[in-house]
Chains A and B, each alone.
Chain A
Amino acid sequence: MSAMLEVKNIEVAYGKIIAVKDISVTVNNGEIVTLIGSNGAGKSTTLRTISGLIKPKSGEITFNGKRIDGMPGHEIVGMGICHSPEGRRIFPRMTVKENLELGAFLRNDKSAVNADMERVLDLFPRLKERIKQTAGTMSGGEQQMLAVSRALMGDPKLLLLDEPSMGLAPVLVELIFDTIVKIRKQGITILLIEQNATAALEVADRAYVLESGKVKMSGSAKELSADDKVTKAYLGH
C-alpha cells in the first residue's frame, strides 16, 4: 500500500486561537481511516486544512506525492479530494439535482457525470424520490445523504467525511455506515470523522485519536477498539 495522503506536523490557527497544534496523519490507497476525539480536538480543522479552506501555519500536506498545502481550495478539489463538510452545507435554495450537479462542477465528461448521478441515486434511493425538491426543505437525514452524494459527484480519489451521522436517527446512522463500506468497495479511499467512535472503528482500517490539537494515539482500528484508555474515553464502556 502506498500513501495517498500525508499530513505532516501541521499547525492551524483561527486568528489567535490555535485549533491544531501538531497533527500528522497518513491515509493509504484504498483505506478507511477515522479520526476520533472529543469536540474541539481539531478533527474538523484538520479536514478543512486538507481541502484548502484554511491554510496551515506550518507543516506540510502531500497528496499522491504533490504538495497541496497553500493551494487554493477549488484547485484541491480538481485533484480528487472531495469533502462532505461539517453541518452538511448543502445549497438550501437549490434543488437536489442542482446540488448534485454542483458536486460535479469541475467535470466536463457529461456521460460519466450522468452515470455517477445514477450511481449515487442508487446508493440513496430517498434522494431519487426528492430529486426536484428544494434541498433546504428536506429533513436532516436527507440533507446528510445529499451532502455525501454531492461529494461523490466530484469523482473523488479521496473522500473526506465530517460527521456524516450527526443528529441522525439510529436507522439512518446504520444506513450511512453501510453506505460508507459500499463506497470503499467502489475503490474510493475515505478519511472519516465521527463522534460515534464505536461505529467508526467498526468500519475503519486504522484510526487516530486526537486530543486538544494533537495525535494522542494511533493504530489499527482493531487494536484501538481493544485499548482500555480508548474504550473508557470514547466508546463509553
Chain B
Amino acid sequence: MAKAVEAKKFSGTPGQIRQQRVERAGAIAISAIAAVWMLANLIKAPEQFAQVAISGLRNGLIYALIALGYTLVYGIIELINFAHGDLFMLSAVFSSFFITYWMGAEESNGYGWFAFGLCLIAVMIFGAVINVLIERLAYRRLRHAPRLAPLITAVGMSFLLNFVGLKWNGSTPRQWPTVIPSGDINIGEVRISMITVWLFLVGFPLLLALNYLVTNTKQGKAMRATSQDRDASTLMGINVNKTIAFTFALGGAMAGAAGLLYQQSIGTTSYNLGFQLGLIAFTSAVLGGIGNLWGAVVGGLLIGLIQGLNDGLPIAFGQQWSQSVVFTILIIILVFKPAGLLGKAVTEKV
C-alpha cells in the first residue's frame, strides 16, 4: 500500500527516486529550521519583524532588477557578464549627476518628480546603450571562441567600467540629496518609509513589463528560440544578432533602473558598488535558477529578505554575519536543488 502511494509521488529510476527523496527531506528540514527561527522572532518582536522584512524586500527588489540582467544574458549566450554589476554602478552615478547637477533637482517637489521621471527614462536608455555597445564591441566576435575568452573579456570589461566609475564618482563615496519624499506611512506599529513605497511602485511594474515582453511578444519568442538554438533560429527567419543585442538592451535597462532606485533610496554612490551588489545579484540569479526570469526575482527578494531578517531581528547573527548567512543558505539550497529554486534540469531525447 505504502509503496503504491510512493510510486505516485516519485517517478524515475531508483537513483532518481532516491535523489527526489533526499531533495524533499532537505527541503522540509530547511523550511522547518527557517520557520522555527522566524516564529521565535515573530513572537518576541512582531512589529520589528514586519519592519525588517519590508526593508529586506526593498533591497531584494534592487538585487532582483540587477539579477535579471545576469540571467537574461546567461540565458541567451551562456555568458556570465561580469561587467553587469559595474553597469549598475555607472547607472547609479549617472542618475546622481543627472538629477542633482544636470537637472538641478535637490528636493521633493513637482520639479523633483519631473527630474526623477525623466531620469528613469534616461538611465534606462543609458544602461541599454552601454550594454549593447559592450556586446557589440567585446562579446560578439568571441561568440564562437572557446568559452574562457568571452569570460575573461567580461572580467576585463568589469575593470574598465570600474575605472570609468572611479574617475566619474571619485575614489570616496559621495552623498546625494534625494527627490523622493522622506515621510513614513504607519500601519499600526509598523513604519514603512515613502522611499520603500516608491521603490516598489516603480520597480514592480518594471518586472511585470519585462516578463510580459519575454513571454508574450514576438521579440520575446525570438529570444527564447535564440537561447535554445541559434542556427535553427536563423532558419526561422529570426535575426539572431539583433535578438542578442535586444537582450543586452533589456538587461542594461533593468540595471539602469536599479541604479536610479538604489541611488535615490540609499543616497550614496561609490565606484565599487558594482562589485558588492553585482555579486549579491549574481548569487540571486543562481539561487533562483540562472536563465529563469522569475527565478532571478525570487532569488533577489529572498536574499534581500534573509539579509534584512538577519541584520535586524533580535534573535539572529547580526549584520557582520550578513554575507556568511546568505552564502551558507545558498550552498545548502544548491546542494539539494543544484539547478536553483525555479531552474529545471531538462531531460531531452536525442
Contact = CB atoms under 8 A, between A and B. Distances in A.
Interface of A: 51-53, 72-75, 77-78, 82-83, 85, 89-94, 98, 101-103, 105-106, 136-140, 143, 150-151, 154
B232 A137 contact: no
B225 interface: yes
B224 interface: yes
Interface stretch (B108-116, B153-161, B235-243): B235-243
A121 to B, nearest CB: 18
Interface stretch (B2-10, B186-194, B341-349): B341-349
B339 to A, nearest CB: 13
Given A74-B239, A154-B237, A90 B346 contact: no
B150 to A, nearest CB: 19
B229 A139 contact: no
Given A91-B225, A137-B347, A140-B349, A105 B238 contact: yes
Given A102-B221, A136-B349, A140-B349, A93 B228 contact: yes
A53 B238 contact: no
A77 B235 contact: yes
Given A89-B231, A89-B232, A78 B349 contact: no
B235 A85 contact: yes
Interface of B: 218, 221-222, 224-225, 228-229, 231-240, 346-350
A91 B348 contact: no
A51 B235 contact: yes
B316 to A, nearest CB: 40
B236 A105 contact: yes
A8 to B, nearest CB: 23
B236 A85 contact: no
Contact of B346 (A78, A105, A136): A136
A90 B346 CA distance: 15
A91 B229 contact: yes
Nearest to B227: A93
A94 B224 contact: yes
B237 A89 contact: no
Given A53-B231, A93-B228, A77 B236 contact: yes
Contacts of B349: 136-140, 143
Given A74-B237, A102-B221, A102-B238, 13 more contacts: A53-B231, A74-B236, A74-B238, A77-B236, A89-B229, A92-B228, A93-B228, A94-B224, A101-B221, A102-B225, A102-B236, A105-B236, A106-B236
